[in-house]
Amino acid sequence: MTFKFTRHFLAAAFVSVSAFSVQAADFSPENPECIAPANPGGGWDFTCRQVGKSLQDQKLIPSTMQVVNMAGGGGGVAFAYVTSKRADDNDLIVAASSATATRLAQGAYPGNTRDQVRWISSVGADYGVIAVAADSKINTLPELLDQIKADPRSIAVAGGSAVGGWDHLKVLIAAKANGVEDVRKIKYIAFDGGGEAVTQLLAGSVQAFTGDISEAKGFVDSGDIKVLAVLSPERLPGEFAKFPTAKEQGIDAVGANWRGFYGPGNMSDEAYAYWVDAIAKLYASDEWKATMAQNGLAPLDLQGPEFEAFVSDSVDSITGISKEIGILQ
């Protein structure tokens, strides 16, 4: 079973949209800052740090990007902080993803409206993975899902999003595609970021991990974890081609996580245009294309109003899938 949201996302993910056209704005950030709404080691942390470094290396920002980790509530702590205390800060951007859209769709953020912030740009899409520790006796996704089907409480799955968040939904999508009738019985444990979730996997506190390919890559390279499946429609290119897809194992589940940024809701038009333009230039660079290839990111090139419309559609689509799976009534 393939859900409408994944089909909608994939249709958009591979359509490159021309950059948001802006004139050179009379604005430059004095103290550029990026909030990663999770602990170090996860996808939001990766987004802030990698984009911040690349913006600095390419001289698209005038000084070093300060990265602040602000974990809690699946991004809700950072969202509340920005909307209530930094609503007019022109120097600030915040890492966002499908997990952000998921929490907005499910009414989990204070104020709970996508219109409280300004959606700046995407920087790519990150396919989901389901993995186990390297020494696990489980070697395929069907093995894991069959064990969950037989005894849902026997497998604890860790992820870096809150209960009901995008990491959680990926497991539910795969389990439902494998015939698990009541996916609400699956034991999911939420941590503040993918890095912490993998740490608990390696400690033996949980038996499986759900996250994104960029989060898992370092732990695969170090030999700590074993990827059972990538939730992509076909095998990824390059060094990621060794990872089997869920679909080739008979599990019709696809899940991609967009990555991007929002800014404070009262950010000035000049500052908004600056950040949209800077990130558009970054995305178009050969350096960023190489970073995407190294980390398994798929193309997703949306800026300004086009990105805002995409996020709005994502929230609406996730609302539908959350109702279908039973997360929302």
Query: Can you give the pLDDT at residue 109?
Result: 85
pLDDT 10s digits, 178-206: 988 888 889 999 998 888 999 999 999 99
pTM of the model: 0.79
Q: Do 265 and 86 form a contact (C-beta atoms < 8 A)? A: no
Neighbour tally for 137: CB within 10 Å: 7
Same fold across 4-126+257-325 and 127-249: yes
Look up the CATH number of domain 127-249: 3.40.190.10
| pLDDT, position 112 | 61
H helix and E strand count, the chain: 11, 10
By C-alpha distance, which of 237, 102, 92 is closest to 167? 102
Domain ranges across the chain = 4-126+257-325, 127-249
The C-alpha angle 165, 167, 168, rounded to 5 degrees, equals 65
CA-CA distance, 205 to 68, in Å (whole number)?
28
In eight-state DSSP terms, residue 110 is: T
- Between CA 213 and CA 210 the distance in angstroms is 10
CATH of range 4-126+257-325; options 1.10.12.10, 3.30.70.260, 1.10.540.10, 3.40.190.150? 3.40.190.150
Q: Nearest CA to 258 among 2, 1, 17, 70?
A: 17
* Mean pLDDT for all residues in the chain: 89
What pLDDT is stored for residue 22 in this prediction?
43
Q: Helix %, strand %, coil % for the chain, to 5?
A: 45, 20, 35
128 with 257: CB under 8 angstroms?
yes
Q: What are the angstrom distances between the C-alpha of 97 and each of 212, 247, 303?
A: 11, 24, 14
Question: pLDDT per residue over 40-67, tens digit each?
Answer: 988 899 999 999 999 999 999 999 999 9
Question: Is it the case that residue 254 has pLDDT exceeding 80?
Answer: yes
- Bridge partner residues of 95 (DSSP): 261
Give the span between the Cα atoms of 71 and 68, in whole angstroms: 10
Instruction: List, for residues 130-183, the tens digit of each pLDDT value.
Output: 999 999 999 999 999 999 999 988 999 999 988 888 899 999 989 989 988 888
